[in-house]
Amino acid sequence: MQAYTKHQSIAALMRRSNVDTDQIIPKQFLKKVERSGFGQHLFHDWRFNEDGSDNKDFELNKAAFKGAKILVVGDNFGCGSSREHAPWAIEDYGFNTIISTSYADIFYNNCFKNSILPIVATKDQLDRLMDEIDANEGVSFTIDLENQQIITPAGNGFKFEVDAFRKDNLSKGLDDIGLTLEQSASIDKYEEKHKQNFPWLWT
């Protein structure tokens, strides 16, 4: 998992609430178990017309939002089914930060396991960020995980809360497997002892 570091990026705006995981990554694309390749299908039914061409009316197809790593969205993002493919698609597309007032619990937890920082804002904070993007599409925000702060050119940034354990894992690029591998020396020591005590189990 890629470590999350302080960065400045274009903030893309989606003024949509209750975006469910089937809109994030439609069910017909859930045919792989590896994490890569889902970004091309992110928000598929909104991004593309029936003939496969880009839907010019969809927010993320705006030229001003190209290359954005920050996604600013409405309430209750990631609701619906618990598919982990949803954060896989978001990360694979290029986003590493989401800002909303609320998230579905499973989606929120899965974000931290996939190099994505889901920031919780108040309604007023979110409205100010959205208005700033509306007024200057293509504007860049700075996300400072270490100091838990969003910085914007118009001064609409704020301090945000994040669990200390999840923050540490994000900053180090550790998912559940990475956390386990940090104990590899202890695991090796246990296995050697186990081999000595129960050699027939290792033949």
pTM over 0.95: no
**pLDDT-derived band at 72, boundaries 50, 70, 90:** very high
What pLDDT score was predicted for residue 150? Answer: 98
Summarize pLDDT for 148-168 with one digit per residue, the tens.
Answer: 999 999 999 999 999 999 999
Rounded CA separation 158/47 (Å): 31
Summarize pLDDT for 20-30 with one digit per residue, the tens.
Answer: 999 999 999 98
Q: Give the containing element (helix H, strand E) for 172.
A: helix 164-172
Residue-range domains of the chain with CATH:
7-172 (3.20.19.10)
**pLDDT-derived band at 79, boundaries 50, 70, 90:** very high
**pLDDT-derived band at 183, boundaries 50, 70, 90:** low
C-alpha distances (whole Å) from 163 to each of 25, 88, 98, 169, 181 are: 27, 21, 16, 10, 22
Residue 92 in this model has a pLDDT that exceeds 80: yes
Residue 180 in this model has a pLDDT that exceeds 70: no
